[in-house]
Structure 1
């Protein structure tokens, strides 16, 4: 199993038990992390957790349809590769869905080997593009500051906590910390805590001895042991169960652990990097996350900004990622139309870098002409221009940065008004932290209530 595919998450939405189980087993054997939903309701529940890298969905479901699942997910998390499985009578709908943003469709009965090859190709292109983002810690003072923080963290053997929305590049940052430090030639083991099966999580993390439970026919080394003296990356650590939080805390305090059913104490020598898109401080206050574990992992904290706060960098990121994707797909002469670049700056990017990579991947694969158009990147509809009031645009001599600041100031003032001055509610409605809101208010000279 390749390292590329070991981290790829796929959501299978299929109500046929025989086909669904067959897909789950085969895809797990191929190295995918699979969630299987049998209904539209189960799919919606699955999508409320860690976002999948790929969705493989039937069109017709007992309580809805795959199209609704796709559109609701796009609205919340941005474009993600979706492949529909369809019966012959639904091909017209499948073709329309491809025009509206789906990546492809397969007609039942389909060639499973060919489908697996397609899914692996998506995962490999995604991993390659994500790797290119490792060089993206430049272009603005904010992101350069993050780059310096990660570089310093790489040199210091202390736990690192990466915070930020889904798709902001937390795993890329974790690999950057690993590869920039003295452990770069040692193992890097990535674990998605949100995908650990509850009945196997203990064994997966700490290992087990033969015969330690029913079905344990051989010894198994857990992630803590596999990481050796390298780096253990615990993604989505906010999803860790209370019991595993206690066990992890004990490992961090003693630097020791035992395999399940074992009596031999083993040393934990790895460097720990954690990541989450959840507010762990709020979870501590609500009793959902242990305070002592929070203090242990929150030593060097780094918040990765969402893509919508890095709009100045989007054109250069777009160009670099398109070149990389086009080269991998044998389309090295592909260019980007100016209108496409402008559309990417206007888009809200709810899925952040993951959405950017997915849109580029799809556009490069399916573009008909010699240049990527705005429609190639946004098949569901090109983002419109942000509307500003006339007073903000009255001076034709205003620079682009002045107009952008004016629009941002206007939007923040309106959010504060709707929240009746509550910085917490305003920050939540804007999708940013209170610290980011306060920094923007300072920069844009918006007075805080306590400054009146």
Structure 2
């Protein structure tokens, strides 16, 4: 039997449901949107249709007479990954929806299905870019860890599922979030990055949700918050573990209801925002310690993306370093220098506690101070590792340059303060006797932010 080809002009949607009234509602709505429709009432019929025809979108119920919608989601992911698939689930039964998102579903809608939700989902799905593995072009390297990260980023760009990005400081968590956004159907809309640890607690609600004129002293005009700014696009919550518990409650409600209320307003505004969160902390441990709400953790951690540390992909370091050098030289209006073989080897053997951010700082300094077109080991000024059983601290200048020695001491003092205050940066700044702004500057300069 010849396959029925999806029209290039008229997209074709496969709808799967065993309830005749819902099937009819879906069909009428889609036909009025100018789409072609093929119907199925069970898993077997749906898979048979997928084998025989080409589709631009699939909408499937979760509970079907001969199985569940997850079987269709998994079949599409395995055999027809270019087709976005969304699931229809009973209201309040979001566990199945989360499972479907993890299996590769594009999105989900709750019963009873509203026409507004359905139209928005279909329009969003049919604007998805062609599913080609073109993602990760800004993530350099051929190691297994980097290839796995690139492949997962490409998959995550095809869904609306919340993503939790984990990894050490400087490992490229924000870059990964931006790549997911750039390859998604939301790429034309805003990407709004937010450092949750940099916002004073008393300003969080107004910063996230906006405020009405006169809501508080100094509120001279109405202002949008992060959610309004990211409407239709993506909100990246960096260092999400730094959110205070009171704000976590408010954030959870917005994620569940998809509505925000400005400070000083009695009216809720609908928002369509995909959330990607990240932190260098162990978020599950924060939950165990009572510093992070478990229900919010499950809402944010639908799919986890781990960004590898540089020491986990040492074979990629010379290529990453040369790529960074070329960019830094271009920005400085200089010719691109090269690394000597000895310098590349030294970089590959270094542990990089600050990861790519630290590597970039090292190369920027080497580029400024190098006396030739080649960067050698001495130009890098790498800080040697301190032996664990060293009996005494080396004197400045004996084993490393003075600035590196001082940076190490400063890094250790800041790390100790952060751990003592459970990574509360405001409290850590007070403990260290510096301003919050000064601490932020030092964190960024030392590659610890």
Give the TM-score normalised by the residue count of structure 2: 0.54
1:315 maps to which residue? 318
How big is each residue's C-alpha offset from its partner over 1:146-174, in whole Å with a ceiling of 9 and x where there is no partner?
Answer: 11111111100110100011111000000
Given the alignment, which residue of 353, 356, 376 partners 1:353? 356
- Aligned with 2:273 (options 270, 273, 276): 270
Could you tell me how far apart the structure 2 residues matched to 1:183 and 1:176 are? 11
Q: How far does the alpha carbon of each residue in 1:287-316 deviate from its partner, in whole angstroms, 9 at most, with x for none? A: 111010011011111111111111010011
Residue by residue over 1:197-238, the C-alpha shift from the partner in whole angstroms, topping out at 9 and shown as x without a partner, is 111111111001111111212111100100110100000000
Which secondary structure state, in structure 2, belongs to the residue aligned with residue 234 of structure 1?
Answer: strand
Distance 1:264 1:134, change over 3 A: farther
CA RMSD of aligned residues (A): 2.0
Distance between the aligned counterparts of 1:360 and 1:138, measured in 2? 18
**1:287 alignment counterpart:** 290
* Alignment partner, residue 365 of structure 2: 362
Question: 1:134 and 1:216, CA in 2 relative to 1: closer, same or farther beyond 3 A?
Answer: farther
Partner of 1:166: 169
Aligned partner (choices 297, 300, 303) of residue 300 of structure 2: 297
Deviations 1:230-270 (A, max 9, x none): 10000000000101100000001000011000122111201
Q: 1:212 to 1:333 in 2, by over 3 A?
A: closer
The question of whether the paired residues in 2 share the 8 Å contact of 1:346 and 1:383 is answered with no
Number of the residue aligned with 1:371: 374
1:343 and 1:384 mapped to 2: Cα distance? 16
CA distance in 2, matches of 1:142, 1:354: 18
Taking structure 1 as reference, are residues 239 and 134 closer, same or farther at Cα in structure 2, changes over 3 Å only?
A: farther
Residue 243 of structure 1 corresponds to 246
Query: 1:153 maps to what in 2?
Result: 156
Alpha-carbon distance in structure 2 between the residues aligned to 1:345 and 1:174: 26
Structure 1: unaligned runs, 5 residues or longer: 1-131, 386-452
Q: Residue 375 of structure 1 contacts residue 381 of structure 1 at CA under 8 Å; is this kept in 2?
A: no
Q: Which has the higher contact order (CA 8 A, sep 6+)?
A: 1
Q: Which has the larger radius of gyration?
A: 2
1:138·1:147 contact (CA, 8 Å) conserved in 2? no
Residues 138 and 144, structure 1, Cα contact 8 Å, conserved in 2: yes
Q: In the aligned structure 2, how far is the partner of 1:339 from the partner of 1:133?
A: 29
Structure 1 residues 130-279: aligned runs within 5 Å: 135-136=138-139, 138-279=141-282
2:240·2:277 contact (CA, 8 Å) conserved in 1? yes
Number of the residue aligned with 1:83 = none
Q: Does structure 2 retain, via aligned residues, the 8 Å contact 1:343–1:383? A: no
Following superposition, the deviation at residue 360 of structure 1 comes to: 1.2
**Are the structure 2 counterparts of residues 195 and 214 from structure 1 closer, same or farther at C-alpha, using a change threshold of 3 Å?**
same
1:191 aligned counterpart, secondary structure: strand
Relative to structure 1, the CA distance from residue 252 to residue 381 in structure 2 (aligned partners, 3 Å threshold; closer, same or farther) is closer
Separation in 1 of the partners of 2:384 and 2:356? 18
Normalised by the length of structure 1, the TM-score is 0.54
Shift of residue 333, structure 1, vs aligned partner: 4.2
**Aligned counterpart, 2:75:** none
Count of residues in correspondence between the two structures: 253
Matched-pair contact (CA < 8 Å) for 2:140–2:320: no
> Alignment partner of 1:139: what SS?
coil
Retained in 2: the 8 A contact 1:308–1:349? yes
The correspondence of residues 82-101 of structure 1 with structure 2, limited to 5 A, is: none
Aligned-partner Cα distance in 1 for 2:258–2:337: 51
- Following the alignment from structure 1 to structure 2, what is the Cα–Cα distance between the partners of residues 246 and 144? 36
* Distance in 2 between residues matched to 1:383 and 1:337, nearest whole Å: 22
- The residue that corresponds to 2:339 in the other structure is 336
Residues 1:179 and 1:333: Cα distance change in structure 2 (over 3 Å): closer
Q: Contact 1:346–1:384 (CA<8 Å) still a contact in 2? A: no
Is contact 2:140–2:319 with CA below 8 Å preserved after alignment? no
What's the secondary structure of 1:309's corresponding residue? helix
Looking at structure 1, the residues matched to 225 and 269 of structure 2 have their Cα atoms a distance apart, in angstroms, of 12
Going from structure 1 to structure 2, the CA distance change for 1:134 and 1:333 (only over 3 Å counts) comes to closer
Matched position secondary structure for 1:301: strand
Provide the rounded CA distance (Å) in 2 between the counterparts of 1:208 and 1:232: 18
